[in-house]
Chain A
Amino acid sequence: MSTVVNPDLNAKLVKFGNKSEWNECYHCGNCTAVCSLTENENLFPRKVIRQLQMGLKDKFNSNIDPWLCYYCGDCSETCPRDANPGEMMMSARRYLTSVYDWTGLSGLFFKSVPALIIAFVLVAVSIIGVGYAKQFNLESIMEFGHVFEKMLIFSVVVLILIPNIFHMFWLTIIKEKIKAPFLLYVKGIWDLFLHMFTQKKSLKCEKNTFRWFEHLLVVFGYILLLITTVFLNWFSTENTYIIWFGYIVGGLVFIITFDFILERVKKKKELSKFSHPSDWLFVIWLFLMGFTAFIVRILIDTDLISNNLWLYIVHLIVIAQWGILIVPFGKWTHFLYRSFAVYFANIKSAELNS
């Protein structure tokens, strides 16, 4: 089979946040050897850099390896060329997100800050428009908000996430001619969910234990907050348990994300040294979601919400921007692609080893 070489591939990656130093790489293999997660079946980061340098676009697009990296930063720290392989893997993930996304919006938002701002403003204006249409009546806006959240989750999953996962499957498994028996797929399901919710693999990066724990709390806090607000109707429930539960998970989300933001400001760890706009958006919006939800509920409990309607509208705007823009097209997708990558990679290596 012929291989198409695309010399512009690296320029493309730079638009996704790759540092220009990546090309300093002289292929000593240090990054791969120092990596705690790489295995014989998935050799990275060096091999990924190689594909990038040679412009092997098809191979690069079908590569699962970038998703198997949890960015502990060992490779960048010890790289003898200061080529930042860790950040290269991160930009590869952004790029691959845009490759999987059938709408093309993901790539647009990763590459263009103006486009991102326009989209965010549009969403905000629409929500305010809805408020206007409802004559800024608190109850009907909250009612709308509740229905809107459910509809949003459903449509994002059906219209964007599922098709994109299938696209990823097509690129990494079908196109790579991996013919695994169906049973392997069934067996792997447990692993899929385990990795989705726990990021168990990242524990292998020794320095990551605390970070892993923080991340675990955020994932659970986020999911539980979602369940409490959307399905247990946190904002209108009278059930004391649910109310307190909501406070705990909401607090968890914004306190830990605040720490994530601080780390990105301090830039002390390799992991938080470089921040792409998408990284900032992700942590800040996650923080805002937890924080505004928390405040809204406090205002409800203190009967102050009717005087502070605007705060609920802000909360709704944050939710809408998160749900419409960041979840389907931004960094949130890591949650899915990472776990499916582990799933696919296991199937792939089981098939290759058999």
Chain B
Amino acid sequence: MVKQNSRAVIFQERMNSGLEKLEQFAGEFPEVKEVWFATDFSMKDKKSLSTRIKENGVEKIIVAGRSPGELKSFVSASLADAGKNPEDLTLVSVNGTILSDGDLLSVFKAKILCAVKDVHFELASDSPGNEVNKKTLVIGAGIAGIQASLEIANAGIDVTLIEKTGTIGGHMAMFDKTFPTLDCAACILTPKMVEVGQHQNIELLTYSEVLDVSGEAGDYTVKVFKKTRRVDLATCIGCGDCTEKCPVNVPSEFDAGTTMRKAIYIPFPQAVPNKYILDGDNCTYVQKGKCGVCAKVCPVECIYLDDKDETIEIKVGNIVVATGFKTFDAEKVERFGYGKYPNVLTSLEFERLLNAAGPTGGSIVFRSKDKKGNGIFEANSDSPERIALIHCVGSRDENYNTHCSRVCCMYSLKMAHLVKEKLPDADVSEYYIDMRSFGKGYEEFYERIKKEGIDIIRGRTAKVEEKNGNLVLRSEDIEGMKLIEKEVDMVVLSVGLEPGEDSQKLAKSLNILTDDIGWFAELNSTNQTVNTVRGGIFVAGVCQGPKDIPDSVAQGSAAAARVIQSVINSKVKKGLSDLSYNDIETKVNELISTEE
């Protein structure tokens, strides 16, 4: 039995976001004598706490907060100073990523209950688990979703893979090379895409979105909105006659707007499924009832112009969410002139220029205009001689996004290298705040690029202006202790990553949580990195937070491991949000009585 009146609970700071009740709650246990706040103590002076410990006869301390570990050494030293056992302290993580949700109050209460009663939370919150439907749903078919699907399908488990666009592949399919090995991205991705397309355990639903999810761990019912492609996948032979005749031109999403596509189109030659899509929003027939030329020329009559969207329901046991990201809208930073000066590009546009399979066949050229005035890139245009890359556009900035997007430093270095490869005489400069080459082989890659004759300058660019037909950028060269006003021909903005358009909506239908920025929240950032608060729902890839391709692949595999584990055990553990405080309290009492 725990002695009454012998413990103190220290909160890291005053609670907010509906968690204020925790403060009172903690004080109501007979075992708890004092509730303190770390902000009332001086971290430099252990006496400030140890005198309070002695005065109140406290034997054990529970530290609760976003990151209670920060207080560990201070509290431990104070306990020792007061003549108590320095190890008599328990840390309770009232985790920041799930702080914003009032529903989780009961979980945090349960955590404090366990700490006060000296019971491991993991033991008390362990549940026998639900029966599991073997079939698994993967949402999003970028590299993380593809990886997870293949891992699960290769274990003999049925997978339904849902993709919003007309093809799988995601952002990775748009890239030319991957860092730091400079492998060709398509050479890694395309075989995986083909494998997904042909896998007997994978059912692919492209052009589809999740509308709603109901049920519980192991038995979810998912409503899927299937947009019609208006092209029959089984009969389309991919001949392309329809595209040739289609009169509509719109910017190509796959090419990041660097070129135009038709209203009936195939996103790119290696698309999976390699069949045409009719984009109803831009089709003259669908919008105005006129035209329909594509259906007339189709040799196999596979185009159904009057097809309607449908909603279907599928039943699954586990769900892997891998919905990826969107890039920062560079037009928000007016000082860089994106949208105003034609040769200020986003990194995604530049990525398409560098790509041998891109609109220019890999030539780096100036933006030109088509007949209708759309800014596009054409292979026979002139090439720039001076190119500048600006890091951290929309990232690490209180005015836009405060987070580091993790990939921009490395992809910018990669781009600089590729420019040098294609235009050896080009003057290439990069402007960065801090060079974050943190991964395996990344620092070595950075060192290598530095030797390739690229000016890599520490100093954030403040503005880009047009003077006498040239782009002029202004930066401080911090290491060179001077101001830089540099004339260039082309500026590439290394835009950061943001949560996807519909991520909040999806989080709501899945009933999982997002963090302050909007990334899907993992349960615990160190040992439950793919779990969410709901049992049987896992996250992978950038939708959980910015990461590069190797990390996305790793997380895709990790999420798959959790799914496979539950199918093999035929049980899926309940999530934290499925447990009630009363259940845990009962379990705690059971555990205490068996101990005695």
Contacts and interface: CB of A to CB of B under 8 A. Distances in A.
Given A26-B433, A43-B476, A46-B476, A80 B460 contact: yes
Interface string A12-34: 00000000000000111110111
The 3 A-B pairs of least Cβ separation, nearest first, read A29-B476, A33-B462, A34-B462
B398 A78 contact: no
A351 interface: no
A78 B399 contact: yes
A232 B446 CA distance: 72
A81 interface: yes
Nearest to A32: B476
B296 interface: no
Given A33-B460, A33-B476, 6 more contacts: A26-B433, A26-B434, A28-B433, A46-B476, A79-B398, A80-B396
A14 to B, nearest CB: 19
Residue of A28, A40, A79 with most partner-chain B CB within 10 A? A28
A39 interface: yes
A40 B481 CA distance: 8
B335 A78 contact: yes
Nearest to B477: A29
A80 B481 contact: no
Contacts of B434: 26
Contacts, number: 58
Nearest to A47: B481
B44 interface: no
A33 B483 contact: yes
Nearest to A46: B476
Contacts of A43: 476, 481-483
Given A26-B434, A39-B483, A78 B462 contact: yes
B398 A34 contact: no
A79 B483 CA distance: 17
Contact of B463 (A26, A32, A33): A33
Interface in B415-444: 433-434
Interface string B456-469: 00111111000000
A81 B398 contact: yes
Contacts of B484: 33
B243 interface: no
Residue of B399, B476, B477 with most partner-chain A CB within 10 A? B476
A62 B392 CA distance: 34
B399 A80 contact: yes
A38 interface: yes
Interface residues of B, number: 23
Contacts of B335: 34, 78
Contact of A29 (B396, B399, B478): B478
Interface in A28-55: 28-30, 32-34, 38-40, 43, 46
A82 interface: yes
Contacts of A82: 398
29 contacts: A26-B396, A26-B433, A27-B478, A28-B433, A28-B459, A29-B458, A29-B459, A29-B476, A29-B477, A29-B478, A30-B476, A32-B462, A33-B459, A33-B460, A33-B462, A33-B474, A33-B475, A33-B484, A34-B335, A34-B462, A34-B474, A40-B483, A43-B483, A78-B335, A80-B392, A80-B396, A80-B398, A80-B399, A80-B433
Nearest to B397: A80
Contacts of A26: 396, 433-434
Contacts of B474: 33-34
Interface of A: 26-30, 32-34, 38-40, 43, 46, 78-82
Contacts of B475: 29, 33
Given A46-B476, A82-B398, A29 B460 contact: yes
A80 B483 CA distance: 19
B169 to A, nearest CB: 33
B398 A32 contact: no
Contact of B482 (A40, A46, A81): A40
A53 B100 CA distance: 35
Contacts of A28: 392, 433, 459-460
Contacts of B433: 26, 28, 80
Nearest to B459: A29
Interface in B307-344: 335
Residue of B392, B434, B475, B478 with most partner-chain A CB within 10 A? B478
A40 B484 CA distance: 9
B286 to A, nearest CB: 45
A209 B136 CA distance: 65
Residue of A26, A27, A43, A80 with most partner-chain B CB within 10 A? A80
A34 B475 CA distance: 8
Contacts of B461: 33
Interface string B484-502: 1000000000000000000
A126 to B, nearest CB: 46
Contacts of B398: 79-82
A78 B475 CA distance: 13
Nearest to A26: B433
A78 B398 CA distance: 9
A203 B477 CA distance: 25
A77 to B, nearest CB: 8
Contacts of A81: 398
A80 B460 CA distance: 10
B332 to A, nearest CB: 13
B455 to A, nearest CB: 15
Nearest to A29: B476
